[in-house]
C-alpha cells in the first residue's frame, strides 16, 4: 500500500503498477512544463518585437509621447496596435490558472456575468492602465537608439528560434535531457569526492613523514648539545689545572 500521485493510499498489486503510476504522473508534468516554456518564450519574443517596433516608430517620428497626457499616450499606442505587456499578460494568466486549480477563483456562470456587468466600465479603464504599456514608455531615452532596436530584434529572433526548437520536441525529449544533465552532475560530484578522498589519504602520510624528520632532527640537535657541553666542561677542568699556585 502506497500513496499515489493524488496523495491517496492505494494498493499496488505488482511493482510494474508502481512504475506505471510514476510514468503517467511524470508524463503529464512534462507536458505541462513544455506548454509553460512555450508560452514563456512566446511572450518574451512578442515583448522584444514590440519594443523594437516602438523604437523604430519613435525614431521615424511616427509616435510622440512628449508633453502628452497618459491617456493620450495609451490611445496613441492602441491606435498603432501595440499590445499590452505580453510578459505581464502571460504571468497574470498563469496566476489565474493557479488560483483556479487551488479553487480560489472558481465562480459560477451567474456570478461571472454579474461581475462582468458591474466591472464593464472598470475594465475599459484597466485596458488603458499605464502599467500595461510601461514596458514601452518606461524605456530610458538612451535605449531609443538604432543599436538597441537591432539588438532587440536579434534577441527576439533568438527567442523565436528557441521556441521553434522546443515545439519540435516531445515531452520525453525534455525528460531525457534532464536525465543526461543529472547523470553528468552526478559523475562530476563523484569524481570530486574521489579526488578529495585521495587527497585526504596523501596528506596524513606526508604529515607523518615530516614529523619523523623533525623528530630525527631534534634528537640530533639534543646529542650535539650534550657533546658541546661535555667538551666545555673538560676545557674548564684543564683551565683550572693550569692556574698558578699562589
Provide the residue-wise pLDDT of the chain in tens; the chain has 246 residues.
Answer: 788 877 888 888 898 988 888 889 999 999 999 999 999 999 999 999 999 999 999 888 898 888 888 888 888 898 999 999 999 999 999 998 888 878 765 554 445 555 555 555 555 565 557 788 889 888 888 788 888 889 999 999 999 999 999 999 999 999 999 999 999 999 999 999 999 888 876 555 555 566 666 665 555 555 555 455 555 555 655 555 554 444
- 108-122 pLDDT, tens digit each: 444 555 555 555 555
Q: What is the pLDDT of residues 49-104, one digit of tens each?
A: 999 999 999 888 898 888 888 888 888 898 999 999 999 999 999 998 888 878 76
User: 3-class secondary structure for the chain?
Assistant: CEECCCCCEECCCCHHHHHHHHHHHHHHHHHHHHHHHHHHHHHHHHHHHHHHHHHHHHHCCCCCCCCCCHHHHHHHHHHCCCCCCHHHHHHHHHHHHHHHHHCCCCCCHHHHHHHHHHCHHHHHHHCCCHHHHHHHHCCCHHHCCHHHHHHHHHHHHHHHHHHHHHHCCCHHHHHHHHHHHHHHHHHHHHHHHHHHHHHHHHHHHHHHHHHHHHHHHHHHHHHHHHHHHHHHHHHHHHHHHHCCCC
Amino acid at each position: 500500500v502506497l500513496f499515489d500521485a493524488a496523495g491517496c493510499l492505494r494498493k499496488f498489486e505488482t511493482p510494474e503498477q508502481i512504475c506505471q503510476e510514476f510514468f503517467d504522473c511524470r508524463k503529464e508534468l512534462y507536458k505541462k512544463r513544455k506548454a509553460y516554456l512555450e508560452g514563456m518564450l512566446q511572450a518574451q519574443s512578442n515583448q522584444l518585437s514590440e519594443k523594437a517596433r516602438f523604437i523604430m516608430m519613435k525614431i521615424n517620428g511616427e509616435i510622440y509621447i512628449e508633453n502628452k497626457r497618459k491617456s493620450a499616450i495609451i490611445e496613441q499606442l492602441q491606435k498603432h496596435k501595440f499590445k499590452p505587456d505580453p510578459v505581464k499578460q502571460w504571468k497574470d494568466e498563469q496566476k489565474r490558472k493557479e488560483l483556479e486549480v487551488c479553487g480560489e477563483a472558481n465562480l459560477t456562470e451567474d456570478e461571472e456575468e454579474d461581475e462582468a456587468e458591474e466591472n464593464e466600465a472598470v475594465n475599459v479603464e484597466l485596458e488603458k492602465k499605464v502599467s500595461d504599456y510601461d514596458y514601452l514608455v518606461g524605456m530610458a531615452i538612451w535605449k531609443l537608439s538604432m543599436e538597441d532596436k537591432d539588438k532587440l530584434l536579434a534577441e527576439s529572433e533568438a527567442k523565436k528560434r528557441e521556441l521553434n526548437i522546443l515545439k519540435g520536441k516531445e515531452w520525453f525529449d525534455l525528460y531525457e535531457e534532464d536525465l543526461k544533465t543529472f547523470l553528468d552532475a552526478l559523475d562530476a560530484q563523484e569524481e570530486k569526492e574521489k579526488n578529495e578522498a585521495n587527497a585526504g589519504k596523501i596528506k596524513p602520510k606526508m604529515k607523518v613523514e615530516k614529523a619523523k624528520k623533525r623528530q630525527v632532527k631534534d634528537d640530533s640537535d639534543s646529542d650535539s648539545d650534550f657533546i658541546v657541553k661535555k667538551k666545555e666542561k673538560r676545557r674548564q677542568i684543564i683551565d683550572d689545572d693550569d692556574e698558578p699556585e699562589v
